[in-house]
Amino acid sequence: MSQQGSLGVAVIGTGRMGADHVRRITEVISGAHVAAVVDLDTDRAKAIAAGVEGCTAFADPAEALTAPGVDAVLVASPGPAHEAALLTAFEHDLPVLCEKPLTPDSASALRLLEAERRLGHRRVQVGFMRRYDREYVKLKALLDSGELGRPLMLHNRHRNADAPPGFTDAMAINDSVAHEVDVTRWLFGQEITAVTVLRPRPSAHAPEGLSDPQFVVFETDGGALVDVEIFLSARYGYQVQAEAVCENGTARIGDGHDMLVNAAGRWGGTVTPSYLERFEDAYDRQVQAWVDATRRGEVTGPSTWDGYAVAAVSEAGVRAQTEGGRVEVRLVERPGLYR
C-alpha cells in the first residue's frame, strides 16, 4: 500500500455510481484513496481523475490493475462488463468490491464462482448495500435474536418516482427486485426456491412497454413466503420498506420517521428522490467496511455465492414474468469456500 498505508483503489466505471464512489473514497471514508479510474469514455475518466490528487485515468481495466499504487478494485461498470474485470482482478489476486449485479446471468456468475474457488480464497465482496443500512441491520439483529420467534413472511415495497429511460420488465427483476432477493436470503438465512410474478393493471404513468407495478412472490427453503411490490413509476419519490411477520410479533422498517413536521394544517416528513440519497449512509458504511477488511487482509460481506444465488433467482423471476406461473430456482451445491 502507498500513501502511508492508505489503500490504493482503482474504480472501474465512472458513470453515476462510479463517480459517487470516487467522491466517497476521496471525501468521506478513511484508509483509502483513488489511485486510478477506468472508463471507455476517456474524456469522462480524465475529467474525474483531474479532480483527484495522484489519480490516473485509463481506458483498459487490465492496464489499470497493473498500475503502480493499485491495491484493490471497485467495479462500478455496467453488469455485462463485470465478469472480464473480475477475472482480471483474480489474475493479480486483487480484492474487489463489485457493484451488483455480480454478473447479469447465473452462467457467468457460476464461472466467477469457480474461478474464485480455484484461487482457494475469497476475493470478492458484492455491493448489496442494504446489508449496511442501519434499519436493515437492526431488523437482522432482531430476527437473529429469536425474540419474535420464527419468521413466517416478509412484505417488501420498492418504489421509484419514475422508471429510467429504456427500463424493461426484465430489468425490474434484475436491477430492482434483485435487492429484495438478497435481503430475503440475508434476513432469513434461507435460500429462495421458487418465484411467481403477478401483474395488476399498469399505472397510467408506466412507460410504453413496461408492466408497472408488479407483484413478486418468493418461496424459501425454510417455508417462509415473501412478497415484493415493485413500482417504478410511483411518482412521489423513492421509498423502500420491509415488514417481517414472525410467530411472536412483527417488525417494520423504511417508514422514514426520523422527523415529522406539523405545519400549515398538514403533518408528515419527506421522501427521498432516489436510491443514492436513501442509501447514502449504507453506501458509506459498505465501502468503509470493505476498505477496513481489505487492510486487515480479510474479505467480508456478501460473497460471490450471494451474487450467484441472486442471479439464479432473478433468472427464475424473469421466466415467471414471461411464462407465467410458478418457476422453481435451481442452485448448484454451495462450495465449502462460502459456507
Asked if 178 and 124 sit in the same domain, the reply is no
Q: 237: alpha, beta or left, given left = phi > 0 and alpha = psi -120 to 50?
A: left
Residues 202 and 333 in one domain: yes
Query: According to the model, what pLDDT value does residue 5 have?
Result: 83
The residues, ordered by sequence, that sit 6+ positions from 281 with a Cβ below 8 Å of its Cβ are 133, 134
Residue 208 included in any domain: yes
Q: What is the CATH number of the domain that holds 31?
A: 3.40.50.720
Whole-angstrom Cα distance, residue 141 to residue 135?
10
Residue 141 within any structural domain of the chain: no
- Check residue 264 and give its pLDDT: 86
The verdict on residue 231 lying in a domain is yes
In this structure, is residue 69 part of a structural domain? Answer: yes
The pLDDT of residue 75: 98
Task: Give yes or no: residues 158 and 250 share one domain.
Answer: yes
How many angstroms separate the CA atoms of 101 and 191, rounded?
18
User: Residue 138 falls within a domain, yes or no?
Assistant: no
The answer to whether residues 287 and 170 belong to one domain is no
Tens-digit pLDDT profile for the chain (339 aa)?
655 689 999 999 999 999 999 999 999 999 999 999 999 999 999 999 999 999 999 999 999 999 999 999 999 999 999 999 999 999 999 999 999 999 999 999 999 999 999 999 999 999 999 999 999 999 999 999 999 999 999 999 999 999 999 999 999 999 999 999 999 999 999 999 999 999 999 999 999 999 999 999 999 999 999 999 999 999 999 999 999 999 999 999 998 766 777 878 888 888 899 998 999 999 999 999 999 999 999 999 999 999 999 999 999 999 999 999 999 999 999 999 999
- Rounded Cα–Cα distance for residues 226 and 220 (Å): 8
Would you state the pLDDT for residue 267?
A: 82
φ, ψ dihedrals at 70, nearest 5°: -90, 115
Question: What backbone phi and psi angles, to 5 degrees, belong to 72?
Answer: -155, 165
In a domain, 73, yes or no: yes
Buried b (16+ CB within 10 A) or exposed e, 146-185: eebeebbebbbbbbbbbbeeebbbebbbbbbbbbbbbbbb
**Does residue 203 form part of some domain?**
yes
DSSP state of 209: T
- How far is C-alpha 306 from the geometric centre of its chain's CA atoms? 11
CB 44 within 8 A of CB 25: no
- Please check whether residues 215 and 286 belong to one and the same domain: no
Q: Which pLDDT score is estimated for 257?
A: 62
Say yes or no: 153 and 25 in one domain: no
Do both 109 and 173 map to the same domain?
Answer: no
Same domain? For 100 and 126 the reply is yes
What one-character-per-residue DSSP string does 142-205 give? HHHHTTT-SEEEEEEEEE-SSPPTT--HHHIIIIIIHHHHHHHHHHHT--EEEEEEE--PPPTT
C-alpha cell at 320: 415467471
Pair (316, 200) in one structural domain: yes
Comparing CA positions, the residue from 33, 40, 43 lying closest to residue 6 is 33
Domain count, the chain: 2
**Are 323 and 190 members of one domain?**
yes
Read off the CATH number of the domain in which 178 is found: 3.30.360.10
Q: Are residues 121 and 152 in the same domain?
A: no
Whether 328 and 186 share a structural domain? yes
Instruction: Note whether 292 and 257 are within 8 A (CB).
Output: no
The boundaries of the domain holding residue 180 are 148-275+310-338
Residue 140 lies in a domain: no
Q: Which of 226, 252, 250 is nearest to 241 (CA)?
A: 252
